[in-house]
């Protein structure tokens, strides 16, 4: 039994609608994926540590790109550490914070901007 011309047009129309919806979906998800890849570039920033006393150091931006203070994360020997005082909103050369850490540990500075992942900016021995 063959299909009538009207049935053939209905079937062709349904196939075209599905293809258009699929194409629009691919375009939307492709645009979202491309926009996520265009995140900020990891800043090129150096830090230094200055020992204040036996239990604290001052972590100082020692040159490079300006970074937002709320995008910086510190770890000591792989464990997250909150500084004694927060970073300023915009961290540029000479700006810093106080971190509680004794001698002989590894202090790492990570940047969390843009992509939702942590990118290591610097690693310092205390």
Instruction: Tell me what pLDDT residue 34 has.
Output: 59
Q: For 38-59, give one letter per residue: b (16+ CB within 10 A) or e.
A: eeeebbebebebeeeeeebbbb
Number of domains in the chain: 2
Same domain (yes/no): 54, 114: yes
Instruction: Tell me what pLDDT residue 35 has.
Output: 55
Q: Which domain holds residue 76?
A: 45-125
Q: What's the pTM?
A: 0.67
List the CATH number of the domain containing 94.
Answer: 2.60.40.2450
Same domain (yes/no): 63, 120: yes
Q: What is the mean pLDDT of each run of 10 residues along the chain (126 residues)?
A: 77 86 83 60 93 95 95 94 92 95 95 84 93
Same domain (yes/no): 34, 59: no
Instruction: Tell me what pLDDT residue 39 has.
Output: 62
Instruction: Tell me what pLDDT residue 14 has.
Output: 87
HEC states along 58-95?
EEEEEEECCEEHHHEEEEECCEEECCCCCCCCEECCCC
Same domain (yes/no): 52, 87: yes
């Amino acid at each position: 039994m063959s299909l009538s011309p009207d049935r053939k047009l209905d079937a062709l129309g349904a196939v075209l609608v599905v293809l258009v919806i699929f194409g629009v979906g691919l375009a939307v998800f492709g645009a979202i994926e491309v926009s996520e890849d265009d995140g900020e570039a990891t800043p090129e920033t150096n830090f230094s540590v200055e020992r204040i006393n036996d239990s604290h150091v001052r972590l100082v931006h020692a040159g490079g790109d300006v970074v937002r203070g709320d995008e910086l994360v510190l770890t000591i020997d792989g464990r997250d550490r909150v500084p004694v005082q927060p970073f300023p909103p915009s961290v540029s050369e000479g700006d810093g914070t106080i971190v509680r850490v004794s001698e002989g540990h590894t202090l790492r500075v990570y940047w969390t901007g843009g992509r939702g992942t942590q990118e290591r900016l610097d690693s310092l021995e205390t």
